[in-house]
Amino acid sequence: MHNLDIERRSLGMWRLVGAAALALLMAHSALSGRASGLSGAGSGAVTITVTMSEAGVFGGDSNKGNVKLSQPAPAGGVTVHLGFGKTLLMAPCGQTASSKSSVPASMPSCVNVLAGATSGTFTVSTINVKTSKQVKIIAQLGGSSVFGNTSFLVNPVTVSFSQIPTGAIDWGSSATWGVTLSHIPKSGATVLLSASGVTVPANVKVKGAPATFIAKAPTISPCSMSPSSSPVSGKITATWEGASASAPITVGKNNGQPSRYTSNTIRIDPYAIVGVSHDAQVVVLKGSVCANSLAGGDVMFIKKLGVLKVGGVKKIPSGEVAVGVSSASLTDFINDGTMQMLKETPQTATEPGGSNSPGNPWADTAEPYHEQSPGEQPWKYTTSGTASSYSFTAFKENNGLSASVSAKGQVNGGYNFLVVIHQDKLQQATFTVPTDGTLDVTWMAQTTAAGQGIGESRLRMAPLYSGLVDDRADDIPFLFQIYGNFIFKPGFGEKAAAQGHFKITYKGDGGIDGSSAVNNSLDATPDISSTTSSAKAAHGAVVAINAPKFALTLSKDSFLWAVANRLPSALNQKGADMADGLEGQLDVKIKHDVKYPQPDDYFKLPRAAYVQWVASVAYAGQGLMGAGLLSPVPCQQYYQNYLVQAGIDKDMLGSVSGSVPPDKGVEVFKKTGVSAIPSIQGCMPKK
């Protein structure tokens, strides 16, 4: 009984196993029919046919595909996997998947064919191509080995401008452009736009017909001194899916005339000046669009005050802008044009004060006007002058010798300064002055013992007259000055005193044109009075007067003079201290172009055009004991030289095309002579 029960239980288990195996076999048979066989009574193996609605499409368009089965899909339907070339797309069914970068298309990874149906559709999206490209599509039935394939072409689409305005557009205006595609996709296309010289929208939508957009020309910069009388060339580019087209555009009509100013000349409001450093190497400006745009190499154009070259810029956290500056030359800011100042009446100016007073030992304007050895008493002098007259008196005592030189003169006061610049190169530079006038000189020397010398015999005086002259074309001031300098060397071998006097009448015009002298009837006529002397032995004196000396300057100094006389509030102590504190950070970018005079160019004026008279009268007296048989009275002999010299510092001019003014200037006129008092044969010097 027990064994029978065991047998019954074993038979039941096998029946259960058999039923499970049969169920698994039937399930596998059904799955195989859906995935690979789809076989039914009296039918063969299933096949797949893949077709595209278009044999070729343009880039950006889509193409509809169709998968057709040779037999209806069974209950539950079937899945057909899709791919490009020989590779199926690995993505969840129903999601669009992109191809490899080499295939310009994307499509769903699979298509579901519903139960009882024989086909399903899918859509292939394309992108643009440069040349026609074939897209190959593969379809696989489930996980079986049943495949189908097809292909179609993607053809390129080009971009072009359908509307291009003719001619240039003015600054601040706009023009309408048109853009289109050789084939516009049904869904439209977003064309990207970019441009130089003008502004355009970031993109424009092309749908069904060419699209238009507006190109806007910039307005003239409020900072630039070069408002583009010269046209500016630009370009507009339209791009869509790798295809692009470009067309030139010109802003600013060509009037045939180049810009007067260089492209790096920046307009600065005079009232933007907050302070000037004590040595005038740094200018602090209020923050503004123009001040913030400054960079090394630019030129600041400050109306009524001057032009300065920018060496470096430092933004200050409080909002100001510190600018390291140096003197600008004419070609630094003038690109093309003529500048002429003809007998302009100067605006009388006083020497800079405030933070740039000559009493300030750090101020550039406090130049050493005289030199002497340690312990030696310097020359002391007073001056006065106008545009038409001047005078000075100088006095010195040294080791028992006392000397004085006094002079007064009349001048015409006119001048002619002409420069011609073309393509940033100076073509002509002329400076002439009518020198008609007089020079009246009195000198005196007295010694307390033999062999006493004067020590430093030269005296470089402060200007006798200063005035600002505006260039009418640009409204930039030059500094017009009249100087007087001299050399006085008395020589006595005993305790004695002497006093002399001479007067010279000058006439004619003189100057320099490039490297050539200009002499229009220059002449000097002397009138030498008898010298009063107590000397018993031979003695003498040399008096050389460099007056009048006419100079026209464009430099950092002329800027300082203009600020001092037209905007004195800018030379304030607080602003100067601020500028001083920033100079160390800008020093390496500053050109130190203001130098003290050196012994070999003691009377040189940097960055100036000048015309000067030099009158040298050397007196030689026989003394009271020197009368000979041929002369019942002591003889006095006078050796005379009269010169006119002229020059233009090339640093003021800038880049010169053609003849360059010589460093030492040119000799315009020279006259020599000897005379004696009394004018008798026995007193005249031997030739």
Q: Which residue has the tokens 């199926």?
A: 88
Q: Could you tell me which residues come within 8 angstroms of residue 154 by beta carbon, excluding any fewer than 6 positions away?
A: 56, 57, 58, 59, 104, 105, 126, 127, 129, 132, 133, 134, 135
pLDDT of residue 259: 82
CB 585 within 8 A of CB 314: yes
Q: Is the pLDDT of residue 414 over 90?
A: no
Q: What's the average model confidence in pLDDT over 28-36?
A: 34
pLDDT of residue 5: 43
Q: Could you tell me which residues come within 8 angstroms of residue 600 by beta carbon, excluding any fewer than 6 positions away?
A: none
Q: Which residue has the higher pLDDT, 510 or 10?
A: 510
Q: Check residue 448 and report its DSSP letter.
A: S
Q: What's the pLDDT tens digit per position in 316-367?
A: 999 999 999 999 999 999 999 999 998 888 899 988 876 556 555 444 433 4
Where is mean pLDDT largest: 30-44, 161-175, 641-655?
Answer: 641-655
Q: What's the average model confidence in pLDDT over 494-509?
A: 94
Q: Check residue 358 and report its DSSP letter.
A: T
Q: What's the average model confidence in pLDDT over 147-159?
A: 95
State both tokens at 404: 């004085």
In terms of residues, how long is the chain? 687
CB 683 within 8 A of CB 677: yes
Residue 17: pLDDT band with limits 50, 70, 90: very low
Q: Which residue has the tokens 């011609």?
A: 420
pLDDT of residue 458: 87
Q: How many CB atoms lie within 10 A of CB 4?
A: 8
Q: What's the pLDDT tens digit per position in 161-206?
A: 999 998 888 888 899 999 999 999 988 999 999 999 899 999 999 9
Q: Is the pLDDT of residue 12 over 50?
A: no
pLDDT of residue 426: 94
Q: Could you tell me which residues come within 8 angstroms of residue 628 by beta carbon, excluding any fewer than 6 positions away?
A: 635, 682
> Phi, psi at residue 639, to the nearest 5°?
-105, 125
DSSP notation for 122-174? EEEEE---SS-EEEEEEEEETTSS-EEEEEEEEE---EEEEE---S-B-TT-E
Residue 368: pLDDT band with limits 50, 70, 90: very low
Q: Is the pLDDT of residue 603 over 50?
A: yes
Residue 91: pLDDT band with limits 50, 70, 90: confident
Residue 321 CA neighbour count, 13 Å, CB half:
21
Our measurement of the distance from residue 635's CA atom to the centroid of its chain's CA atoms, rounded to an integer in Å, reads 67
Distance CA 482, CA 7 (A): 143
Distance CA 35, CA 638 (A): 133
Q: How many CB atoms lie within 10 A of CB 33?
A: 16
Q: Is the pLDDT of residue 11 over 60?
A: no
pLDDT of residue 580: 87
What single letter denotes the amino acid at residue 9? R
Ramachandran bin of 206, using left for φ above 0, alpha for ψ from -120 to 50, beta for the remaining angles: beta
Least confident of 23-27, 120-124, 530-534: 23-27
Distances 658 to 139, 426, 521, 577, 609 between C-alpha atoms, Å: 82, 8, 27, 44, 18
Q: What's the average model confidence in pLDDT over 78-85?
A: 91
Distance CA 661, CA 653 (A): 10
Q: What's the pLDDT tens digit per position in 382-405?
A: 999 999 999 999 999 888 889 999
Kind of pairing, strands 147-155 and 56-58? parallel
pLDDT of residue 228: 58
Torsion of CA 353, 355, 358, 361, to 10 degrees: 170
Distance CA 250, CA 632 (A): 92
pLDDT of residue 367: 43
State both tokens at 496: 């004695």
Q: Is the pLDDT of residue 24 over 60?
A: no
**pTM score, whole prediction:** 0.68
Our measurement of the distance from residue 427's CA atom to the centroid of its chain's CA atoms, rounded to an integer in Å, reads 22
State both tokens at 436: 């008609």
Q: Check residue 271 and report its DSSP letter.
A: G
Residue 29: pLDDT band with limits 50, 70, 90: very low
User: Is the Cα torsion angle 679, 680, 684, 687 positive or negative in sign?
Assistant: positive
> Phi, psi at residue 528, to the nearest 5°?
-105, 125
Distances 46 to 26, 258, 465, 612 between C-alpha atoms, Å: 20, 82, 114, 115
Residue 4: pLDDT band with limits 50, 70, 90: very low
Q: Which residue has the higher pLDDT, 508 or 44?
A: 508
State both tokens at 620: 């030689």
- 66, exposed or middle or buried, with CB in 10 Å at 0-12, 13-18, 19+? middle
pLDDT of residue 110: 92
Distance CA 279, CA 560 (A): 10
User: Mean pLDDT score of the chain, rounded to an integer?
Assistant: 85
CB 193 within 8 A of CB 214: no
